[in-house]
Amino acid sequence: MTGTGYSNVARRLRLPLGFVFGAIYLLVARPTPLLLAIGGIIAFAGLLIRGWAAGHIVKNDQLATTGPYAHTRNPLYLGSFLIAVGFAFAAHWTMLVLVGFFFAFVYGPTIGRERDFVRARFPDAYQEWAAHVPLFFPRLTPWSGGARSESTPFSWPLYLRHREWQAALVFVLVIVWLALVAWRVVDVPTFGGMAPADIP
Asked whether residue 143 is domain-assigned, the answer is: no
How confident is the model at residue 184, as a pLDDT? 87
Q: What is the residue-wise DSSP string for 19-66?
A: HHHHHHHHHH----HHHHHHHHHHHHHHHHHHHHHHTT--TTTS---S
Enclosing domain of residue 111:
18-138+153-189
Q: For the chain, which residues score pLDDT lower than 50?
A: 149, 193-194
Asked whether residue 129 is domain-assigned, the answer is: yes
Asked whether residue 179 is domain-assigned, the answer is: yes
Q: How many domains does the chain have?
A: 1
CATH number at residue 38: 1.20.120
pTM: 0.88
How confident is the model at residue 200, as a pLDDT? 54
DSSP class of residue 102 equals: H
Asked whether residue 1 is domain-assigned, the answer is: no
Asked whether residue 4 is domain-assigned, the answer is: no
How confident is the model at residue 4, as a pLDDT? 63
Asked whether residue 163 is domain-assigned, the answer is: yes
Contacts of 123 (CB under 8 A, 6+ apart): none
Asked whether residue 199 is domain-assigned, the answer is: no
Contacts of 13 (CB under 8 A, 6+ apart): 106
How confident is the model at residue 105, as a pLDDT? 87
Reported as a single tens digit per residue, the pLDDT across 142-174 is 998 755 545 678 999 999 999 999 999 999 999
Asked whether residue 195 is domain-assigned, the answer is: no
